[in-house]
Amino acid sequence: MSQGASKTSGGFIDTLEETLIAALLGAMTVVTFANVIARFVFNSNILWALELTVFLFGWLVLLGASYAVKKGAHLGVDALVNILSPAARRIVGLIAAAACLLFCLLLLKGCYDYWAVFADLPPTSGRWFPTGFEEKFRSQSFYEVDDIPMIAPFRWLEGAINYNEAYEKIPKAIPYFVLPLSASLLMLRFVQVTLRIWQGTEDRLVASHELDEDEISEAAERADKLEG
C-alpha cells in the first residue's frame, strides 16, 4: 500500500471515529433537550431518556479514551522525561507502554467476561489472564435494561442469544458491548504507540502536555491584539 493510500485510509478511519463520537454527543443533547421539552411544555416524560443518556455517555467516554490515546491527546507530566537522554527517554517510554499494555490485558479480560454472559457467550477461564473459555457458565442473555424499549433492528438477537424468547426492553448485551470494544481499541492504540517508540519515531508514551511558555506567549500576544 502506498503512503498516500495509507494516509487516506487513516483519514477515513479518523473521520469515522470522530463522527461516531460526535453522534453520541449529539444524541445525548437531543434526547436530553427532548425530555426537557416534554416535561415543561407537554407536562409529560420520556421514560427511557435518562437511561439512554447514561449509556450514550458511557460509550462516549470509553470510546473517547482510546481515541485520545491514538491522537496523543491525554495529558502527561514530562518534566522528568525531558531531562533524560534520548536513549533513557526511549527506555522509560517502553516501560510505561508495557505497563499500559499489561493493564489493558487485565481490563480486556474483565470487560469481556462481564459482557459475555449477557451475550450468551462463555467467559474466559483464569483468574488474572485468559487461559481458555469456561465450559459451563450461567447465561444472562435474558437480562434487559430498565426502560429502553426493544426496537425492530435488534429483534434478530431474540433468536441468536435468547432462544427465540421475545424482548420487551433491549437486552443488556447491546449497551454493555462497549466494554470489550473499548478495551480492545485501547489495547490496539497502546500497541501502536509502543511500536512507534520501539521504532524511534516517538520517545514517550503521551505526547500531549500542558501549554508551554511559547504557547502562553502566543496566546498573550493574540489577546493584546484583540484588546488593541
Reported as a single tens digit per residue, the pLDDT across 29-45 is 999 999 899 888 888 88
Reported as a single tens digit per residue, the pLDDT across 123-171 is 998 888 888 888 888 889 999 999 999 999 999 999 999 999 999 999 9
For residue 216, how many C-alpha atoms fall within 13 Å in the half-sphere facing its CB?
5
The residue among 216 and 91 whose pLDDT is bigger is 91
Residue 153: all three cell numbers together: 433492528
Looking at residue 208, its pLDDT comes to: 54
Reported as a single tens digit per residue, the pLDDT across 99-124 is 999 999 999 999 999 999 999 999 99
Mean pLDDT of 46-70: 91
pLDDT at 216 over 60: no
The total of other beta-carbon atoms located within 10 Å of residue 41's CB is: 8
Mean pLDDT of 79-89: 81
The residue among 18 and 176 whose pLDDT is bigger is 176
Asked if residues 220 and 97 have their Cβ atoms less than 8 Å apart, the reply is no
Direct distance between the N- and C-terminal alpha carbons of the chain, in angstroms, rounded to an integer: 52
pLDDT at 6 over 70: no
- The pTM of the full predicted model, rounded to 2 decimals, is 0.80
pLDDT at 5 over 70: no
Looking at residue 39, its pLDDT comes to: 85
Looking at residue 1, its pLDDT comes to: 41
Give the Å distances, CA to CA, from 127 to 27, 57, 113.
Answer: 38, 30, 11
